[in-house]
Amino acid sequence: MSFAAPPAPMPPTSLADVDAAIDALHEKRDAWRAVSLEERAALLDRCVAATAEVAEKWAAIGASIKGIAPSEVLAGEEWVAGVMPTIRNARLLARALRSGGRPRPVATRTGPDGRTIARVFPSTLMERLMFAGIHADVWIEKGKPASQGAIYREPSSGPQDGRVCLVLGGGNVSSIPAMDALYKLFVENEVVLLKMNPVNEALGPVLSAALAPLVDGGWLAIVYGGAEVGAHAAAHPKVGSLHVTGSDRTYDAIVWGGTSVDERAARKAKHERANDKPFSAELGCVTPVIVVPGPWSHTDIRYQARHVAAMVTQNASFNCNAGKVVVVAKQWLQKDAFLEALHEELAKTPPRKAYYPGAKERYAAFLEHYPRARVVGKTPADASEDVVPWTVIPDVKVGTDDETYALRNEAFCGIVAEVELGAADAAGASVPRFLEAAVKLANESCWGTLSCCLLVHPAIEEAHTAELANAIDALRYGAVGVNVWPGVVYGLVSPTWGAYPGHVAEDIQSGTGVVHNTWLFDHPEKSVVSAPFRIRPTPAWFSDHKNLLELGRRLVDFEAAPSWGRFAKVALAAFKG
């Protein structure tokens, strides 16, 4: 087995050129604030068209970074997770701006605690038909208004001077740097210096072409390099704010300085920040998949095993929202059948190139903590150095530090832990007891608050409506997927994406702030996406999708210019999956 060769790396931008780029952006920062809503919407329209023009090149380079030939079915991942969300993000932001920065939600309701819950998806007939049964709601923070578009509604409410924001782009999903930059520009009113991550820096010139209207206007500049370039730009006096999608270690290094973990810990204890600029961040998560016990048929078990396996294996498991802890009820009568089916689906999933740095080392650390870990995936003899095999850690016990390593450390490679919780009743497993225990585990034992998932059979959903509603309300996560992988919260773009509010710099975990949020809510708490228990046709994120490349191309065409003709082409491609 061989993987496609990666593209050549980009030469790092000299520090002098980084300074020049910052100086130029700084000169334009106030002019950007004066650009009208209609002019901004027109810029976004042009970005949509420019991105569509470079889509083929974007997807080809993005796939090769991950060891995938552009003609492989699996290359559809780059179309679906890279190009498509970026185009959709720009298009929906343009729509929001043409609504005065306050697009009317599809519907709103008041939660039991008085908060506003806004339906943001589906918002058109085409979306309702394309994603039948899938809904997305943004939950507003309790006690806060459901206000939108603060920078457009009250221009004087934010910083009175324009700011240059340094965006440290994520290296694992190619839409991240582009969409983070769009958010800072169009929702937070800041011009952007985007530093590409070395992992996907080869896409920088493509992003520059895709976002050329912003680059040519002087509102966006893209630079390259490693930690030295990032640290230099973060400390630059003309950079007014920071944003990163990546590791909490990167965040800590910038905020607290120092050269060691111990030195940073000492600085945290004294609240001595090395960099006190406003800093938003999305920093990953140990994502729990809560499997609520219920009367699953054999077909249900096979489908959800495929579903969870896809949550683990999509993008070679280099997703901050990858399924990392499968939580089941010890007394669930179908527990063993489900877990065995999950192992079988992982075993059937072809090995992926471990393209993200440090994967082998993280995998070795997990094996050291869990000698009983079970390798279920294949490791080709001719590519053993490039592969981390799909691996499960059975029956992780909650309580001891050594056993809970998998709950407190993000693996960011193809390994998933399994936790069995006691929830006995006379019929086997008690749904209310399990939900209570599972929510407590997710909130108190799993590191991070970015994303989580619940899988709930419709009979259980109907019989335990109140308990399920309470569980969703109690989950302290920024993205909650009900019968759907939380990655869909990211990909829809309409909901918010980011950690649950409340993290402080001394314990940043999944980060602070949100992105995407194309309805421009000022005070979001979390987004909840719900779906039917079994989604048809095969979802685009399933690893065994047979027509992903064509589907990805059709989705990009549709999002660039929605029409019923393009809708039909998406539907035809989807049904071939």
* Residue-wise pLDDT tens digits, 272-313: 999 999 999 999 999 999 999 999 999 999 999 999 999 999
Report the C-alpha dihedral over residues 90, 94, 95, 101, rounded to 10 degrees: 120
- End-to-end Cα spacing for the chain: 24
* Residue-wise pLDDT tens digits, 155-191: 766 666 899 999 999 999 999 999 999 999 999 999 9
Q: What's the whole-number mean pLDDT along residues 462-487?
A: 97
* Residue-wise pLDDT tens digits, 456-471: 999 999 999 999 999 9
Whole-number mean pLDDT of the chain?
96
What lies within 8 Å, CB to CB, of 379 at 6+ separation is: 351, 387, 389
- Position 159 scores a pLDDT of 65
Instruction: Report the SS3 class of residue 232.
Output: helix
- Position 472 scores a pLDDT of 97
- Position 158 scores a pLDDT of 62
- Position 557 scores a pLDDT of 98
Which residue reads 């989580």 in tokens? 452
Is residue 24 predicted with pLDDT exceeding 70?
Answer: yes
Is residue 237 predicted with pLDDT exceeding 70?
Answer: yes
pLDDT level of residue 427 (50, 70, 90 thresholds)? confident
- Position 477 scores a pLDDT of 98
pLDDT level of residue 153 (50, 70, 90 thresholds)? confident
- Position 154 scores a pLDDT of 80
Instruction: Report the SS3 class of residue 521.
Output: strand
Q: What's the whole-number mean pLDDT along residues 240-244?
A: 98
Q: What's the whole-number mean pLDDT along residues 34-62?
A: 98
Q: What's the whole-number mean pLDDT along residues 405-410?
A: 96
The domain ranges of the chain are 287-482
Alpha helices in 236-379 (DSSP H): 248-256, 261-270, 298-313, 335-348, 359-369
384 vs 242, residue with greater confidence: 242
- Position 384 scores a pLDDT of 76
Phi-psi region of 5 (alpha: psi -120 to 50; beta: other; left: phi over 0): beta
Fold of 287-482: Aldehyde Dehydrogenase; Chain A, domain 2 (3.40.309)
- Position 490 scores a pLDDT of 98
Is residue 397 predicted with pLDDT exceeding 70?
Answer: yes
Q: What is the pTM of this model?
A: 0.96
Amino acid at 306: R
pLDDT level of residue 380 (50, 70, 90 thresholds)? confident
Beta bridge partners, 530, equal 135, 482
- Position 83 scores a pLDDT of 98
Q: What's the whole-number mean pLDDT along residues 192-197?
A: 98
Are residues 442 and 417 in contact, defined by beta-carbon separation less than 8 angstroms? no
pLDDT level of residue 319 (50, 70, 90 thresholds)? very high
| Percentage above 90 pLDDT, the chain | 92
Phi-psi region of 516 (alpha: psi -120 to 50; beta: other; left: phi over 0): left
Backbone angles phi and psi of 24, in degrees to 5: -65, -40
- Position 301 scores a pLDDT of 98
